[in-house]
Amino acid sequence: LARSLDHMASLPAETADGHRVCLLVNTGLMADVVRSLERGAEGVGLFRTEVPFLLRDRFPSEEEQREIYREQLEAFAPMPVTMRTLDVGGDKALTYFPIEETNPFLGWRGIRVTLDHPEIFLAQVRAMMKASFGLNNLRIMLPMISGLNELETARNLIERAYRELLEEGYEIEMPPLGVMLEVPSAIYQIRELAERADFISVGSNDLTQYLLAVDRNNSRVANIYHALHPAVLRALQEIATTVHAEGTEVGICGELAGEPGGALLLVAMGYDRLSMNATNLPRVKATLRAVRQADTELLLQQVLKMDCAKEIEQTVSAFLQRIG
């Protein structure tokens, strides 16, 4: 297994007819880094910054954060590392910052929390940008964006932090700023978001949960949580097409990108960057290398006509079986 992993790591992530895709990893712990590099990741598409926050009993200081972020950025440099600003709330609770709500997934989560606490946000983005000094491989990404005003407020804070750092003598570049597309309202503002952000990355775990109104962690309704539901597929296609029409790069960092069948459909839709757990990366790459882009497009056209998630899942598995 180790030898075949090594072999796969050195091969390009492209379809049999040469359509190149960028395969990235989702990280949170330093332990993810070695596995990611061994498996040939081309950078980090999602560094879940809340993971180091969850492992502590108080907010890490700006300097503690800088050290954590520096390790990630250094490990992957010159490859890009996309750091998501703190995404707590929902199912992710900090013991030292309790949020009690009856409906947490529709409550105070992600960007909503950090925009209400600009001191937390500013310390975090300052730490990220300081950490990127001399490397310039940082990208910043905002979770749970539901409207343009949140992007603008966040951008203003980041620009303010950036100007302050320049005044403090840090010669750094302004990092690209991306929006996670995981709230349905953002689908209907995707053109404006794509125009104003440097990149868009779909958080398909939450997007599926919110589109289908199915709690992603509730086993009672797990049988109706379908990442390949026709409505989800149509949304994913529309997002990719609209973002590309704006000349903006579009990626995905939800679990769907790490499933071979999901990855094929996403590539057919035009997604440029797929970010996944390092464990899934070799399998996804092997699958992509075994198909031609035109065949993934035929598969996509076929499943986009279907109106039942189960039928789509079966069609995709049968396709995967045929290619071995």
- Out of 65, 137, 189, 204, the residue judged to bind ligand PEP by CB under 6 A: 204
Q: Does 254 bind ligand PEP (CB under 6 A)?
A: yes
Q: Does 206 bind Mg ion (CB under 5 A)?
A: yes
Q: How far is the CB of 105 from ligand PEP (least distance, A)?
A: 10
Residue 322 C-beta: closest distance to ligand PEP, Å: 29
32 binds ligand PEP (CB under 6 A): no
- Return the sign of the alpha-carbon dihedral for residues 44, 145, 131, 167: positive
Q: Residue 49 has which token pair?
A: 């910054």
Size of the site for ligand PEP (CB under 6 A): 10
Q: Can you spell out the DSSP letters for 194-245? A: HHHSSEEEE-HHHHHHHHHT--TT-GGGGGG--TT-HHHHHHHHHHHHHHHH
In the complex, the smallest distance separating the C-beta of residue 39 from ligand PEP, rounded to whole angstroms, is 19
Kindly state whether residue 48 participates in binding ligand PEP, applying the rule CB under 6 A: yes
Cβ at position 134, least distance to ligand PEP in Å: 29
Q: Is 203 in the site for Mg ion (CB under 5 A)?
A: yes
Q: Cβ 203 to ligand PEP, closest distance in Å?
A: 3
- Least Cβ distance, residue 132 to ligand PEP (angstroms): 22
Judged by beta carbon, residue 205 or residue 315, the one nearer ligand PEP is 205
Question: How far, in Å, CA of 2 to CA of 299, rounded?
Answer: 32
Q: Which residue, 109 or 130, is less far from Mg ion as judged by CB?
A: 109
Which of these segments, 112-120, 183-191, 199-207, 313-321, binds ligand PEP (CB under 6 A)? 199-207
Q: Shortest approach of ligand PEP to residue 204 CB, angstroms?
A: 5
Q: What CA–CA distance (Å, rounded) separates 185 from 68?
A: 33
Sign of the torsion angle spanned by Cα atoms 57, 63, 65, 67: negative
Closest distance to Mg ion from the beta carbon of 93 (Å): 15
Contact call for residue 205 and ligand PEP (CB under 6 A): yes
**What is the distance between the alpha carbons of residues 161 and 125, in angstroms, rounded to a whole number?**
7
Tell me whether residue 110 or residue 175 sits nearer to ligand PEP (CB atom).
110
32 touches, from Mg ion, ligand PEP, none (C-beta below 5 to 8 Å by class): none
DSSP for 243-295, please give it.
HHHTT-EEEE-SGGGGSHHHHHHHHHHT--EEEE-GGGHHHHHHHHHTS-HHH
DSSP 8-state symbol, 103:
S
Q: Which of 177, 174, 179 is nearest to 148 (CA)?
A: 179
Size of the site for Mg ion (CB under 5 A): 3
With vertex at residue 178, the alpha carbon angle to CA 173 and CA 181, rounded to the nearest 5 degrees, is 175
Q: Based on CB atoms, which residue is closest to ligand PEP, 85 or 293?
A: 85
Residue 145 in tokens? 């964006």
Residues 6+ apart with CB under 8 A from 171: 133
Q: Which of residues 83-122 bind ligand PEP (CB under 6 A)?
A: 87
φ/ψ (deg, to 5) at 249: -80, 140
203 lies in the binding site for ligand PEP (CB under 6 A): yes
What stretch of H or E contains 44? strand 44-48
**255 is a contact residue toward Mg ion (CB under 5 A):** no
**266 near ligand PEP (CB under 6 A):** no
Q: Does 146 help bind ligand PEP (rule: CB under 6 A)? A: no
Distance CA 288, CA 266 (A): 11
In the complex, the residues that contact Mg ion under the rule CB under 5 A are 182, 203, 206
In the complex, the residues that contact ligand PEP under the rule CB under 6 A are 46, 48, 87, 182, 203-206, 253-254
